[in-house]
Structure 1
Amino acid sequence: MPLAAVPDHNRVSDPAWLALYAIYEPLITPLRRRGLVTDIDGCGGQDLILAKLPDGTHLAIGPGAEAGGLPSHIDSITEWLVVRESDDNPTVHHVVYDSTPTGPDAPHGAFLAPLMVSIDAFLVSRGMLPEPVPHSAVVTLTTVHEYGPAAYAPTQPLGSVTEAAQRAAEIAESFPGDIIQHHASRDWPRYVLADGDRLVVVQVTLAELIPGDHSLGVRCYCPFAHPETEEDERRLREGIEYLHRIGDAKGLYIAMVRFYTARDCPARKANRHA
């Protein structure tokens, strides 16, 4: 499915807007894949993601009101609130998803997969989804050592979310070490295991949310997450520049590791010329 256009306004050349747009790309790209022109706008002084709907309304997406808008890094998000609103009709207020501490989706926290599934259900119910979006699930394994880059690898797409959740439990049980955290979301569980100086995170998510360009035929299955295309590299460079400006040393280190990992990956080299 082709991506919706980038917003047409003068902020698209603003470095601050570009940096925030790149930081929230993991959510913005799936929304654009559903045909929704997606923007970042300062609504009431708080930056939110706005996805325009075909009926003239929009989805306002961000953390709860008390959080003060989008933080400077997506990893700082702990909750999501999605509300259908209208600039022309203030009576339009439909909560699509609410994982704030008191919301019905609170068990999911900041997870993107259940957020996208709920948005899809809303779009389907309103006849706003151009074509069905498959919800193939994968299990991702992220390994963090005290020294060296983090390793990242997804399984092949599984038939259903339930199957993926069962597979995640099996993988977590097979690893050495102790489970020190278990996010017990029924369909989207996450396990954190400790083994010496190594932490392993086993998590279920949607296949479309794993890193990489899903429109290209050559896929990367390297154990380390890295950009696969020139567009990925451009966005990562913008993110690196932004992290450098704000002095986020940890985020900058992780981004630089991602940038310089697996320069000779066959998928990375092939996708440069796709």
Structure 2
Amino acid sequence: MNSEASQLAPLPEHGNTDDPVWQAMWSAYEPVITPLRRMGLVTDIELCGGMYGITAELNDGSYLLVASEHTLPSNPGEVEGWHVQRLKDGLATLQETIYDSTEIGAQAQHGNQHLPLFDAITTFVKQRALGVRFKPYKAVSIIGLRGDHLTVEPICDGFSKPEDAIARYGREIADLQSLGWQCVHQQGGNDWPLSVWAGDGGVVTVAVALGAWIPE
């Protein structure tokens, strides 16, 4: 299975994840977002009156705001430098600059490079002990193709108790059996079960896997 180091912090919990603008910005800046999530930071896209930024939550209620000179452009290729601040809503006095590779910033020589940006954020979070500690949980997923070649709507529910994940897995395969689907492959035993099912001209895989992380 995947190690903790390869896991991602959970997605933010709000209604914007269905917003086409939010989704477009999330996709465009995925090369920046994913490393932040690998640090255990719940990362989000801030949409405020046409001003865009990437936020990453810290464990003291403050957060990092990753932007450029003013706002992030919709096209990441137009970013000429990064500006990272630590902020806290309701506390105007907390505006700590962590990294600035914009034209007049202290790290201007790095421009829009990613590695110096990540190095600076990683060092800051570790030195201040501001990272959020997460533990992995088990998730149940089902994905595949139906007989009409349409993708099965995937599910991925997470459970902090392994036995709850196994129980959900059992319910999913019981539903397939009741519909006449046949198991054509299974592996993983009782700890990490995975099975492949065929029926009605389609194939689906049901599995218990290591999900994202939840706070400890």
Normalising TM by the smaller chain, what interval? 0.5 to 0.7
**Is the partner of 1:97 in helix, strand or coil?**
strand
Q: Give the CA deviation at 1:37.
A: 0.7
Equivalent-residue separation in structure 2 for 1:41 and 1:88 (angstroms): 17
RMSD: 1.8
Give the aligned length.
130
1:259-274 equivalences in 2 (<5 Å): none
Structure 1 residues 6 and 82: alpha-carbon distance in aligned structure 2, compared to 1, 3 A threshold: same
Alpha-carbon displacement from aligned partner over 1:171-230 (angstroms, at most 9, x marks no partner): xxxxxxxxxxxxxxxxxxxxxxxxxxxxxxxxxxxxxxxxxxxxxxxxxxxxxxxxxxxx
The one of 35, 38, 44 aligned to 2:43: 38
Question: Which residue number corresponds to residue 147 of structure 2?
Answer: none
1:32-111 equivalences in 2 (<5 Å): 32-43=37-48, 45-65=50-70, 69-111=71-113
Equivalent-residue separation in structure 1 for 2:132 and 2:42 (angstroms): 13
Would the aligned equivalents of 1:120 and 1:129 in 2 still touch at CA under 8 Å?
A: no
- Report 1 or 2 for greater relative contact order, CA contacts < 8 Å, sequence distance ≥ 6: 2
Question: Which residue number corresponds to residue 8 of structure 1?
Answer: 13
- 1 or 2, which has the higher helix percentage? 1
Question: Which residue number corresponds to residue 191 of structure 2?
Answer: none
Question: Which residue number corresponds to residue 237 of structure 1?
Answer: none
TM-score, length-normalised on structure 2? 0.57
Ranges in structure 2 where 5+ consecutive residues have no aligned partner: 134-204, 210-216
**Is the partner of 2:54 in helix, strand or coil?**
strand
What is the identity, as a one-letter code, of the residue corresponding to 2:125?
L
Equivalent-residue separation in structure 2 for 1:77 and 1:100 (angstroms): 9
1:103-182 equivalences in 2 (<5 Å): 103-129=105-131
Would the aligned equivalents of 2:45 and 2:52 in 1 still touch at CA under 8 Å?
A: yes
**Is the partner of 2:61 in helix, strand or coil?**
coil
Equivalent-residue separation in structure 2 for 1:119 and 1:17 (angstroms): 23
Question: Which residue number corresponds to residue 22 of structure 2?
Answer: 17
Question: Which residue number corresponds to residue 234 of structure 1?
Answer: none
Structure 1 residues 53 and 129: alpha-carbon distance in aligned structure 2, compared to 1, 3 A threshold: closer
Question: Which residue number corresponds to residue 26 of structure 1?
Answer: 31
Alpha-carbon displacement from aligned partner over 1:44-63 (angstroms, at most 9, x marks no partner): 64111011111100001010
User: Max radius of gyration: which structure?
Assistant: 2
Q: Give the CA deviation at 1:43.
A: 4.2
Structure 1 residues 52 and 44: alpha-carbon distance in aligned structure 2, compared to 1, 3 A threshold: farther
- Structure 1: which 4+ aligned runs deviate by more than 4 Å? none
Equivalent-residue separation in structure 2 for 1:88 and 1:130 (angstroms): 21
**Is the partner of 2:22 in helix, strand or coil?**
helix
Equivalent-residue separation in structure 1 for 2:90 and 2:44 (angstroms): 18
Would the aligned equivalents of 2:85 and 2:96 in 1 still touch at CA under 8 Å?
A: yes
Would the aligned equivalents of 2:82 and 2:111 in 1 still touch at CA under 8 Å?
A: yes
- 1 or 2, which has the higher strand percentage? 2
1:185-196 equivalences in 2 (<5 Å): none
Would the aligned equivalents of 1:100 and 1:106 in 2 still touch at CA under 8 Å?
A: yes
What is the identity, as a one-letter code, of the residue corresponding to 2:51?
Q
Q: Give the CA deviation at 1:42.
A: 2.3
Equivalent-residue separation in structure 2 for 1:128 and 1:104 (angstroms): 23
